Amino acid sequence: MLTNKLVNATHKDISFPYDKGVILTIPADGQLDLTMDQMDDFRNDKPGSEEVRNQLEYHGLFLLDGDRSYEEQAFTAIRHSISHKKNQYDAFVQRLRDSRIATGSPVTEEAMEEAVDRAGYITIQRDIDKLQKRIKVLEKVLEEKGPKGKVKETLDPRRTCFVTDPPREFPSETALELFLLDQEPDFVERHKTLQTGMLGEGAAHGS
């Protein structure tokens, strides 16, 4: 069953253009509670739903389905995001290469990298690299646990970060693990120390 939670399975905050200047901000490894009207606009059978779906896929966002595991949904969302961004990146590089050949400009690897960086597309490549790291984590989890399971709605210390103020609960243990990938080592160590204190030695997430 679909919930009203719009989940961001990626490493960075997403500003999603919603309607008439309204921007929905979904934090990295977090979620945003939609109003009923907003949720209705994300239905697949709504006019223009294909464009909305493409935008969600590009950003690695999804409406949380309470009857499916977070890991399966995050894996699909991130895989879609990688695909969309890789197509965008590859298309730009091809246009750039064709343009430089047509004008007699150098197309060496160094010249191309500099042009890609200057155009700002290096950011997309970095996003792809980080998303691929997340895919590897999710693949491992799915191999071990399988895609079955449901999203738990109760507070769970195993999927809560106690270093943030206030403590931040994630949709699943894997979502917390993905969040910690981009944190400083001392942040991660403090989190594990606090979590171990609550769960006991050997029970904390990531141990």
Given this model, what pLDDT does residue 207 score? 40
Question: Tell me: the pLDDT tens digits for 113-148?
Answer: 888 888 888 899 999 999 999 999 999 988 887 776
Q: Work out the pLDDT band at 158, boundaries 50, 70, 90.
A: confident
Given a cut of 60, whether residue 72 has pLDDT beyond it is yes
List Cα–Cα distances, 40 to 14, 77, 128, in angstroms.
Answer: 20, 20, 30
Residues 6 or more apart in contact with residue 45 via CB below 8 angstroms = none
Given a cut of 60, whether residue 204 has pLDDT beyond it is no
Question: Tell me: the pLDDT tens digits for 10-30?
Answer: 999 999 988 878 899 999 999
R_g (Cα) of the chain, nearest Å: 20
| Torsions phi, psi for 171 (to 5 deg) | -60, -25
Question: In Å, how far from its chain's centre is CA 51?
Answer: 19
| Mean pLDDT in residue range 31-43 | 83
Whole-model pTM above 0.85?
no
pLDDT > 90: percent of the chain: 41
Q: Between 173-181 and 185-199, two packed helices, what is the crossing angle to 10 degrees?
A: 150
| Mean pLDDT in residue range 29-43 | 84
